[in-house]
A and B are shown apart, each in its own frame.
Chain A
C-alpha cells in the first residue's frame, strides 16, 4: 500500500494488488483530484482496494469484471457515464454502481433510474463534493446489497 502522504502525487493506481483480499473499487472519473480523494477515503478504512481510470476508454475491460463496485462519473470527455453503463450492464455479475457527479441531483437520480433499467439494481447516486463519511458509508451499503444475476 502506498504511503498516505503520497496519495495525491503517486499517479494513477491501475493494477490489482494480489496480496490483498480487499474488494476492488474501480473509480472511472476524468478528475485526478477526485480519484485521489477516493483513494485517501479508503486508505485508513482498509475496506477497498481503489483502482483509478481517468475516463471510460482507460478502463481495462479484461479486469473490469473483478471490480466489486464501480464509482462512475457522468460527464467525461471521452465517453459519458450513461454510455459506459451499457458496457457495465453487459458484465456478469453486474458490478454495483456508485454514481458520483457534479450535476444537479435530478440528473443524478435520472442516471440511477437508467442504471436500474439496465439491470444494475444495486446503484446509488451521490452529488459531488462528497465527504469521506458519506462516500465510505455508501460504498459499504452497496457492498451489503445482494444483486440479481
Chain B
C-alpha cells in the first residue's frame, strides 16, 4: 500500500538525488528545507497582500526548485502555477490561498518522515 502522503511528499527523492542514506544528513537537509520554506512562504504571503506580484513570482520560482529537490511534488507544482500566473505581474490570490494549505500539509508530511528518520539514528 502506498503511503497516504506520497503525492504531497515523496520521501525517496532526496535520498536518490543525493545518493545518501545517512539519516543524520537527510534530517539536516529536510530541516533546512522546512526553515527555508517557512521564511520564503511568509515573504510570499506578505508580498501577495501588498500586491507585489513580481516578488511573489521570484519567491515561487525559488520555492519550486527547492520543493522538487526534496520530493515535495505537489508544492512544487503549486509554485509552478503561481510562477506562471504571476509571470506578467498578474495577481494570483486564489493560488496563494490553496498553496498556503499545501505548505502546511507538506510540513506535516515531512515532519512525519523526520520522526521515522530519527528512529534510524544510531543509538535510537
Binary B-proximity of A26-50 (CB < 8 A = 1, otherwise 0)? 0000111110110011000000000
- Contacts A4-B22, A5-B24, A132-B18 given; does A37 touch B69 at CB 8 Å: yes
Say if the beta carbon of A86 comes within 8 Å of chain B.
Answer: no
Q: How many A-B residue pairs have CB under 8 A?
A: 71
Question: Least Cβ distance of B101 to chain A in Å?
Answer: 22
The total of chain B residues at the interface (CB under 8 A) is: 24
Question: Least Cβ distance of A127 to chain B in Å?
Answer: 10
Segment 65-87 of B: residues with Cβ below 8 Å from A: 65-66, 68-70
Segment 114-132 of A: residues with Cβ below 8 Å from B: 128-132
Q: Residues of B contacting A131 with CB < 8 Å?
A: 16-19
Q: Residues of B contacting A36 with CB < 8 Å?
A: 29, 32
Segment 8-40 of A: residues with Cβ below 8 Å from B: 8-9, 30-34, 36-37, 40
Chain B facing A: main interface SS: helix
The total of chain A residues at the interface (CB under 8 A) is: 26
A40:B25 contact, CB within 8 angstroms: yes
A77:B28 contact, CB within 8 angstroms: no
Cα A31 to Cα B36 with chains together (Å): 9
Say if the beta carbon of A133 comes within 8 Å of chain B.
Answer: yes
A33:B32 contact, CB within 8 angstroms: yes
Q: Residues of B contacting A129 with CB < 8 Å?
A: 13, 17, 65, 68-69
Say if the beta carbon of A93 comes within 8 Å of chain B.
Answer: no
- Contacts A130-B17, A132-B18 given; does A31 touch B66 at CB 8 Å: yes
Question: Least Cβ distance of B17 to chain A in Å?
Answer: 5
Name the residue on B nearest A9 (C-beta): B28
Cα A34 to Cα B64 with chains together (Å): 12
Name the residue on B nearest A128 (C-beta): B65
Cα A33 to Cα B17 with chains together (Å): 13
